[in-house]
Structure 1
């Protein structure tokens, strides 16, 4: 189970290495709750993210990508697990874990249960049937750790196996090792949708090499790589996206 789009390359490697089903959660509800977006825009961005993920070459027969906004309302089992998790965690606990304050909307307070629910196999009956004993591995960024520590605490109380985690550190932004990439700052990173011209204009300031020398090396590497990704992404049809995001049986028997 992967809930971070930028960890998709790692997830693709794990899927190929172990030949396992992969579930990718697109948390468009989280974007709506934390950012100044409409529900419709958050959902639209999730589908754009799905295209970037699919362009990495995932096998449609082994991969299910879902939007929280679209999937939760259609899955009784997922919602049941959300409710069970919500009942196991107190308001004081989520305040302590996530730092919520009295002025935070109640949507933020209930969101951790949504992020936790995909850790349990019976949240996806079209893939795993009614089985709840299938172990889950979650590649995630270090900032997601509190969500899944909470999940691991709750799992035994629900009779489910604890999910295992693989942590990754943040890749620093272009501004230096102490900064973080952000979608809201277009100059913080090289995006997969950047044009060759945009890649060429983003900065370097260390001074260890002449700026022109380093930029030429990086441009020569990044432009063909991202151009290739843009071409694969542009070739993805709406029907292909629908295939990946339709609840269905994958190429595994449980």
Structure 2
């Protein structure tokens, strides 16, 4: 069972294949991928599946409105895992989708016990991050809200909840506190919000596979309650494991990633300590070759810090042949990461006031 609030999720290819079959997630066909080659997450096959993405492309071809919806639980600063989704929605915005970005402060209270006041401070910081990534916040291109301050989202939750039983939620999520069940229904409101505000239109929600229970719940309730709406679609990316070798990057485990507010010294230390796919020693590495598919240095570059596909492919091949040693690879990764983070933090600092304005904060 997938757990959106858990710290352990599928990490092997066969697990993903089993989940796709069990829950009816569609493959990204090569013809679909060809339409999205400018998006590195599709090009590099980091996004592996979808639901109803074809409806978005039909809307694009017919010059009809469509939306991309995502959000963040404001339980702390951005890290590499949460930034993956943020970068994905910016790519969809470039294709013409209006971004709907929800700040899940109700969920952060129910899951993490974070008061709304603290969540607001975190949210300002998070929104400044996504602005620094390149989100266009123009009113016709983006709408950002806090769950606790958006009456429509809560109203949707109340309306659809009459169709929901405890057995139904148990079957989807397992036994959880009622607060987490409520947070899941609030997320239904988040996902349906674009169509409630602007009428029926295709909506795509980029997520990691761990969030699929929310997508399935929302599609089921949309089908039963909002009969004229499009069923919200989704794209699914492979979860980025913790750089320390744990199954999943998590704010609960600070060693599993670095956050976007950390000092450059702290970030460098974590990158240098990241799990690699190297062998026991140099001789064995040169004889047997490395295992880049297990290497978090390679994966950090693939997901975030290396824009050039040819360089990435060359490093993969050299690693497999034993020609690229871990020390050399780490040094290059450290340089790329620190250069990016220094630039990002400088841009972000200038956008805090804009983030505060977008959230209606004093």
Give TM class, smaller chain. 0.7 to 0.9
Q: Secondary structure at the match of 1:170?
A: coil
Matched, 1:98 2:173: yes
Matched, 1:3 2:80: no
Aligned residues of 1:21 and 1:63 also touching (Cα < 8 A): yes
Q: Which segment drifts farther, 219-228 or 108-117?
A: 108-117
> Aligned partners of 1:50, 1:122: CA distance in 2, in Å?
19
Q: Secondary structure at the match of 1:88?
A: coil
Q: CA deviation at 1:124?
A: 5.6
**4+ aligned runs moved over 6 Å, structure 1:** none
**1:164 counterpart (230, 233, 239):** 233
Q: CA deviation at 1:42?
A: 2.5
Aligned residues of 1:121 and 1:134 also touching (Cα < 8 A): no
Structure 1 residue runs without a partner (length 5+): 247-254
**1:184 counterpart (227, 244, 252):** 252
TM, length-normalised to structure 1: 0.83
**1:216 counterpart (318, 322, 331):** 331
Matched, 1:70 2:137: no
Can you list the C-alpha shifts for 1:146-194, whole angstroms capped at 9, x where unaligned? 0110111111211222101101121111122x52111122221132222
Aligned counterparts, 1:1-254, within 5 A: 1-4=69-72, 5-6=82-83, 7-17=85-95, 19-61=96-138, 62-71=141-150, 75=151, 77-101=152-176, 104=177, 106-121=178-193, 125=197, 128=198, 131=199, 133-158=200-225, 159=227, 160-176=229-245, 179-202=247-270, 203-206=273-276, 207-208=278-279, 212-238=327-353, 240-245=354-359
> Aligned partners of 2:213, 2:110: CA distance in 1, in Å?
18
Aligned residues of 1:27 and 1:46 also touching (Cα < 8 A): no
Pick closer, same or farther for the CA change 1:194–1:15 going to 2, 3 Å: same
- Report how many aligned residue pairs link the two structures: 231
Q: Which segment drifts farther, 204-213 or 43-52?
A: 204-213
Q: CA deviation at 1:229?
A: 0.7
Aligned to 1:250: none
Pick closer, same or farther for the CA change 1:175–1:20 going to 2, 3 Å: same
The structure number with the bigger radius of gyration is 2
Aligned residues of 1:205 and 1:211 also touching (Cα < 8 A): no
Q: CA deviation at 1:245?
A: 3.1
TM, length-normalised to structure 2: 0.59
> Aligned partners of 1:143, 1:58: CA distance in 2, in Å?
24
> Aligned partners of 1:25, 1:225: CA distance in 2, in Å?
26
